[in-house]
Structure 1
Amino acid sequence: MFQLMAGRRIALLAALLVTLVAVIAELVPFWLLFRAIDALLVDPQDLPSTLLSCAVWLLVALLLKYLAYGVAYLISHHTAYAIMADTRQRLVSQLAAAPLHWLLAQGAGALKQSVIQDVERMEAFIAHHTVEVTAAVLAPLVVTGLLFWVDWRLALAVLAVGPLAFVSASIVMRGSGQEHERFNRATADLSNVTVEYLRNMPVMKIFCHATSGFRLLQRRLRDYYQLTEDITRRTVPGWSLFTSVLGAHMLLVLPLGAWLEARDEVSAAEVALAVMLGAGVFRPMLKVSRFFMEMPGIFAGLSRMAPILAIGAGPRCGASQIEPPVTLALDRVGFAYGPRSILEDVSLSLTAGSFNVLLGPSGSGKSTIAQIVAGALVPASGTARINGVEIQDLGDAERAALIALATQDVFLFSGTIRDNLRLARPTVSEAQLRRAVEVAQAQTLIEALPDGYETQVSELGARLSGGERQRIAVARALLADTQVLVLDEATAFADSLTQRAFFQALRAAYPDKALLVVAHRLYGIEQADQILVLERGQVTDRGTHAELLRSSVYYRAMWRREQQIEEWTLVADDERPGSGIGWNRPATPTEVVNG
């Protein structure tokens, strides 16, 4: 927090000094009342002039108090929002410099919390607590000094109730920390159930389970309020005892003051001043206790910001080290998500102008390889290199100039179709843009839009279908003009004929690119230079289409199955036994595997 305040500390110090003026002005009315009581008891004839003088000074003190607090809050709020703006700019700048694999590992929700909510919490600390807590700490100190100036014995009588209050409250409220932990857990559980119930209400109504879901919510609500009632019954008596003892100073001050006044060691006005000051000496500490209750949340937010603020620029390779033609190689790569192993001992090589395909069942690790090749993940073991340089050592600009990635999960920004296409390379020419759009099979859909390339799309591309967004994303990746292009299920939008046309157009328009395609369907991949079959995180077969038809049982079964799917046809009544419309059945997967 101190580091984040750099450049604003003098302003905050000024706010604290102005707060001290306000605290002193708050005590002036007590001194004026002391003078009035003293005049009443000592010299009643001079009382009118004394009261008039006190009234004038009281007005000045009140005006000074409100003016000082106003200036202090103005400075603290202005400083708080300036620090928030600086902090957000620093966080965003750091995130822009963060390695891609680190960024993806954090999750959008966690980063949003750091940049938005955690920074927002700083406002309460800087804008409010700097003034309020300063006043809450300074006021008792100034009052204590004034009490000792009046009489040290009266001062000790006033201060004696403080330890008594804290000791009595700690005895009564023992174990309240555990109760608050239970309360926090119950609050989180209730929040989760409420969000789950509201989010999934349509699903529950479809299956007629809305009532049972509501019963679960009712049960959590009942548990939550029962716990709240238990905590209230336990803490309210202790809190009441604490505040009552803090205000019980008169039980000590009045007898002691009467005894001292009877001995002519203090005046009645001084006893009255001690009673009045004692009433407020501990009250500001309640604000301090609230401050300490809020600080854990602020500290937790700062701890979440710390890794972002600590991000360095990272190593960067010179552009001259990566020159075409490129070769991208994975050498005995392994990867795991926690204890679950995803890849084991995977090796492959992508050369310039080659067409490479990854095939395999769901969960075999295809997308993980694509992410490692694109630099979004770092191998747990082995190496991923491009022309001998490890991909994780590339700077963002150099990596983006070498490798482009398009997946089936597409993000489009608010703006026009043209803006989204030019995101990868703003200086792209119109001819290059249209060539990429044609290769991605997106020309027809863009021309059918109301304003063509100038059609506005909302964030995430909500006005476009999933297939349309994928085509835009593929065209955007092509416009990056990288030497390596990774397509992770990016052709899921296409039917068999469109996928074949896309691959043919891609090879013809960009013959020098090293292509890595993750696919579940085989349409058009028979022209691939290398097909890798991935099963259970390992490459079990590799080769061309013809070679794998001879050597790979999995690939042969998959190819035959897709060929038979294309042969499904509806037949009329007079072409089959029985009545109605039927179909010609292809072989089952077991029959295909067994030949």
Structure 2
Amino acid sequence: MRPESPGWKPSPKDPLAPEQPVSIRRILRLFRPYRGRLATVGLLVAASSLVSVASPFLLREILDVAIPRQRTGLLGLLALGMIATAVMTSVFGVLQTLISTTVGQRVMHDLRTGVYGKLQRMPLAFFTRTRTGEVQSRIANDIGGMQATVTSTATSLVSNLTSVIATIVAMLALDWRLTIASLLLLPFFVWVSRRVGRERKRITTERQKQMASMSATVTESLSVSGILLGRTMGRADSLTRSFADESDRLADLEIRSSMAGRWRMSTIGIVMAAIPALLYWTAGMLVHFGGPAFSIGTLVAFVTLQQGLLRPTVSLLSTGVEMQTSLALFQRIFEYLDLPVDITEPEHPVTLPKAKGEVRFEKVDFSYDGDDPRATLRDIDLTVPAGTSLAVVGATGSGKSTLSYLVPRLYDVTGGRVTLDGVDVRDLDFASLARAVGVVSQETYLFHATVADNLRFAKPDATDEELREAARAAQIHDQIAALPDGYDTLVGERGYRFSGGEKQRLALARTILRDPPVLILDEATSALDTRTERAVQQAVDALSAGRTTLTIAHRLSTIRDADQIVVLDKGRVVERGTHDELLAADGRYAALVRRDAQTTEAPAVPVRALGSTSSPL
């Protein structure tokens, strides 16, 4: 089943299916562009580890040589050496943190832009089945949750591992028997940390899903449309309770994530802190049973090394737990990065510097499920000469909008082809297609920005005069000029500061700025009242002049002058001709015109009838 099908669900092999294993090698590839900086970090880590293990040896010389033999000069040099060791370790640590954090933030940037860029190339159907809050959560929460991993965890892993290895080597150099006694419990510690990591990974997956769900709830219910719906339906309290329930579940998961394995990891810390007592006991037993005696300096230096081993070992085990936890986040990000992109630019695209605007549908079939015999469109043959107009009418669900979406490649045909100036639109580069085809839909979208910024979205380098000319052509300039801030007025979220007709004319002005030779009007006036529709229709007529226009008609009065009209029924063209020709044929189009006229002339339902006790509502 094709991913864009409304009934599409993840299959076990699908990239959106849960529990896909994450390759460590793939995670490491994220850092490949920064391997030079990482090599520098590695050198700093190695230098820092080697310098830090020198202090116990200096301490041994102080206790066994400098103080007993009263060699003050040597004592001063050894003391300065310990101070220099501390200074060098701190300097190396700061440089290491700076470079590793920079690399981590660049990887975070690469992930964010990679996911955003991938989503920009996803088919329209992906967004019709995915909650906006879910998409936002993947970019903000999941990538944000990986910050510690990509900025510090990797460096911490290398640093602590190097410190552990260097410390163990130094401990062996002092005494191999005490070293073995110190490391007897290490396999147990590793086993505990792995179990804790698996537990946290499972909880983290649940937590991120819950965060995505809560983010979607906030996005939907706290938008302007959501607030209007909630208030008018009297659901504000129930929405608050629903959000509180989701928040409570998230809080519970956060507590479980934080406390997962906490007691077991604390036990490890307690045991490792008690190891010095074990070392003193071991040294005493070895001497008691005839072993060689330990100098005070050697024993103190060894215990110092062992205590120095405590911090990186515990940190290393904790880092392992964090890395297992972060695998759940990487899994969710890679799911999006691995989504198949069905509509892609051809390997050798054709460029149209200036399209004339002839559009053809040649034996076009389309189905949301490529294997479904009940195709949305079947055997469509249409030619729209450059500069002429085509109107498409039909009942709801007949395939009108789907037909129009094939021209700008919001969907790709499953049979036949759609051409622009004789070139299959699938062979055109995206830039040429975007320049050639403009779409004005019933659902007008405006950004929460100024009027000027919304218009310049179509043409970023447009001058102020060009903005005004486009607004005049769309018959919206006077309304904009009357605003206190004129073209610098914020339109509000989704343009809610403007009426439906004003938003539609702003959308038309935006399209006029782009000046496409092919214009698609997808029921652009169907949601407007008659008076507003008349004003918008005048702007539409001005915009359509001299362009190839494909109009998806809801009100048939707006397409009487179309050069040709086709009637769709169940995805097939059942009638075609001019308005007068189709009326004379007295077929489906004529029936639609009569129904449209009756609907327009029908008297309005009295308001009081809606509240009548006898109403069937």
1:410 to 433, 444, 449: 444
2:548 to 514, 522, 537: 514
AA aligned to 1:34 is R
**Residue of structure 1 equivalent to 2:101:** 77
In 1, are the aligned partners of 2:46 and 2:162 still within 8 Å (CA)? yes
* TM superposition shift of 1:499: 4.3
AA aligned to 1:523 is S
* TM superposition shift of 1:317: 0.6
279-288 vs 497-506, which deviates more? 497-506
* TM superposition shift of 1:371: 1.5
Question: Structure 1 pair 479/337, CA: closer, same or farther in 2 (3 Å)?
Answer: farther
Q: Distance in 2 between matches of 1:180 and 1:313?
A: 40
**Residue of structure 2 equivalent to 1:384:** 418
AA aligned to 1:56 is L
**Residue of structure 1 equivalent to 2:7:** none
Question: Structure 1 pair 305/30, CA: closer, same or farther in 2 (3 Å)?
Answer: farther
1:27 to 47, 53, 56: 53
In 2, are the aligned partners of 1:332 and 1:381 still within 8 Å (CA)? yes
User: Unaligned stretches of 5+ in structure 1?
Assistant: 572-580, 583-595
Specify the SS of the correspondent of 1:319. coil
**Residue of structure 2 equivalent to 1:258:** 284
Q: Distance in 2 between matches of 1:237 and 1:430?
A: 66
* TM superposition shift of 1:486: 0.2
Q: Distance in 2 between matches of 1:81 and 1:355?
A: 52
AA aligned to 1:379 is V
**Residue of structure 2 equivalent to 1:336:** 368
In 1, are the aligned partners of 2:397 and 2:570 still within 8 Å (CA)? yes
In 1, are the aligned partners of 2:375 and 2:571 still within 8 Å (CA)? yes
AA aligned to 2:445 is F
Q: Distance in 1 between matches of 2:114 and 2:238?
A: 48
Quote the sequence identity (%): 25
In 2, are the aligned partners of 1:367 and 1:518 still within 8 Å (CA)? yes
Specify the SS of the correspondent of 1:142. helix
**Residue of structure 1 equivalent to 2:389:** 355
* TM superposition shift of 1:482: 2.4
**Residue of structure 2 equivalent to 1:592:** none
**Residue of structure 2 equivalent to 1:587:** none
**Residue of structure 2 equivalent to 1:546:** 580
* TM superposition shift of 1:69: 0.7
**Residue of structure 2 equivalent to 1:345:** 378
Q: Distance in 1 between matches of 2:235 and 2:459?
A: 51
Q: Do residues 278 (structure 1) and 306 (structure 2) align? A: yes
C-alpha offsets along residues 282-304 of structure 1, whole Å, 9 cap, x if unaligned?
33323432442343124643564
Question: Structure 1 pair 395/122, CA: closer, same or farther in 2 (3 Å)?
Answer: farther
Q: Distance in 2 between matches of 1:208 and 1:101?
A: 33
C-alpha offsets along residues 160-183 of structure 1, whole Å, 9 cap, x if unaligned?
21013345677xx59x84686367
* TM superposition shift of 1:498: 5.7
C-alpha offsets along residues 182-206 of structure 1, whole Å, 9 cap, x if unaligned?
6743674487369748757986676
Specify the SS of the correspondent of 2:350. coil
Specify the SS of the correspondent of 2:557. coil
Specify the SS of the correspondent of 1:374. coil
* TM superposition shift of 1:465: 2.8
**Residue of structure 1 equivalent to 2:23:** none
In 2, are the aligned partners of 1:335 and 1:381 still within 8 Å (CA)? no
Question: Structure 1 pair 430/303, CA: closer, same or farther in 2 (3 Å)?
Answer: closer
C-alpha offsets along residues 90-130 of structure 1, whole Å, 9 cap, x if unaligned?
7778888x588699789776776676666656653443234
Specify the SS of the correspondent of 2:314. coil
In 2, are the aligned partners of 1:165 and 1:246 still within 8 Å (CA)? no
Q: How does 1:234-313 map to 2 (within 5 A)?
A: 235-247=261-273, 249-250=275-276, 253-262=279-288, 263-264=291-292, 266-281=294-309, 282-296=313-327, 297-298=329-330, 300-301=332-333, 304-305=336-337
AA aligned to 1:489 is E
Q: Distance in 2 between matches of 1:224 and 1:496?
A: 49
Q: Distance in 2 between matches of 1:488 and 1:501?
A: 17
Specify the SS of the correspondent of 1:278. helix
Q: Distance in 2 between matches of 1:561 and 1:132?
A: 73
In 2, are the aligned partners of 1:326 and 1:387 still within 8 Å (CA)? yes
**Residue of structure 2 equivalent to 1:327:** 359
Q: Distance in 2 between matches of 1:494 and 1:534?
A: 24
* TM superposition shift of 1:277: 2.3
**Residue of structure 2 equivalent to 1:485:** 519
AA aligned to 2:280 is L
Q: Distance in 1 between matches of 2:560 and 2:114?
A: 50
* TM superposition shift of 1:140: 0.6
Q: Distance in 2 between matches of 1:245 and 1:323?
A: 77
User: Unaligned stretches of 5+ in structure 2?
Assistant: 1-26, 610-617
Q: Do residues 562 (structure 1) and 600 (structure 2) align? A: no
Q: How does 1:133-282 map to 2 (within 5 A)?
A: 133-167=157-191, 177=198, 181=202, 184-185=205-206, 188-189=209-210, 192=213, 196=217, 199=222, 235-247=261-273, 249-250=275-276, 253-262=279-288, 263-264=291-292, 266-281=294-309, 282=313
2:434 to 400, 412, 416: 400
In 1, are the aligned partners of 2:210 and 2:249 still within 8 Å (CA)? no
When normalised by structure 1's length, the TM-score is 0.77
C-alpha offsets along residues 208-262 of structure 1, whole Å, 9 cap, x if unaligned?
6667667766766777777888899984453344444444544653343224345
**Residue of structure 2 equivalent to 1:574:** none
502-511 vs 471-480, which deviates more? 502-511
Q: Distance in 2 between matches of 1:226 and 1:371?
A: 45
AA aligned to 1:491 is T
C-alpha offsets along residues 514-549 of structure 1, whole Å, 9 cap, x if unaligned?
211123222221222333333444444433333444
396-405 vs 475-484, which deviates more? 475-484
* TM superposition shift of 1:66: 1.3
Q: Distance in 1 between matches of 2:257 and 2:106?
A: 40
Q: Distance in 1 between matches of 2:539 and 2:303?
A: 92
In 2, are the aligned partners of 1:357 and 1:518 still within 8 Å (CA)? yes
Question: Structure 1 pair 499/201, CA: closer, same or farther in 2 (3 Å)?
Answer: closer
Specify the SS of the correspondent of 2:406. helix
RMSD of aligned Cα (Å) = 4.7
Q: Distance in 1 between matches of 2:103 and 2:255?
A: 41
When normalised by structure 2's length, the TM-score is 0.75
